[in-house]
Amino acid sequence: MNLELWVHPYTISDREFALFRDLIFRHTGIHMSDRKKNLVVARLSRRLRALGLGSFSDYYRYLTEGPDAAGELINLVNRITTNKTDFFRERHHFDFLRDTVVPQILRDATAGGQRRIRIWSAGCSSGEEPYSIAMTISELLERDRGWDVRILATDLDTEVLSRAHRGVYSSQQVAPVPVPYLSKYFDRVPDGYELKQAVKGLVVFRKLNLMDETFPMKRSFDAIFCRNVMIYFTEETKNALVEKLHRHLKEGGYLFIGHSESLMHMKHLFTFVRHTVYRKI
């Protein structure tokens, strides 16, 4: 038993939960059903204890009226967001990137296009996804130098972004990495495996809220990975996000989504390529 939780038990009323549900939705787009009450209590109780607050009503006032409301909102978001990810998760996406997306970019460059690759990992969590993209591209361009490759990796959670930027993972975390990649792209360090700078240098990590009305990126992307993010959104929020992602893709660019997500109702924006892979019309 967690003694700290036993000594300082917290409960949340229906009214308090409604306040937090609305606050979380406004800032993250995440919809919390009534079944998530226990999750909210479990994830936020530590913040109440750290701030010496006696109730969730006190915490809500702190978040909305306190002297460090903006800073504490970051802590709230960090606690509430889910960060499940793995290297080469949904392997077929990386196979498609290797076999179809990047070769098409190479052919376009041969025909007079720019030797530039731009990919966005939206909701990158602790970095396994963008680094998997970086390794996949590095393999293809190993003998073809002179390419300008940039992978933008964004997330709302500042804590996972910090870990991602460090690029150090445990033996368990790197288990899905193919053995040749592990020896080629990682260095053994005391606390696990660290990605080599050649891979790290391809990825730029930034904090970004996908609920913002507009995004600051000026150039379009060849592909966007936004996987297992929209499952937490309402249909309206999801549609608004997909329209924004569409605007940031090049003509013919690819959008990768999660295995339980679909864009079949948005045929005016994307054409279906294969399961969870769509192309901008």
Rg (CA), the chain: 21
The domain made up of 91-280 has a fold known as Rossmann fold (3.40.50)
List 21, 155, 157, 227, catalytic entry: 155
107 counts as catalytic? no
The domain made up of 3-80 has a fold known as Chemotaxis Receptor Methyltransferase Cher; domain 1 (1.10.155)
For 183-239, write each residue's pLDDT tens digit: 999 999 998 999 999 999 999 999 999 999 999 999 999 999 999 999 889 899 999
CB contact at 8 A, 137 and 102: yes
Output the pLDDT for position 122: 96
Q: Where are the domains of the chain?
A: 3-80, 91-280
227 counts as catalytic? no
Name the phi and psi angles at 254, rounded to 5: -110, 145
Side-by-side strand order, sheet with 186-189: 168-169, 192-195, 186-189
List 43, 47, 61, 79, catalytic entry: 43
- Which segments of the chain have a pLDDT < 70? 1-8
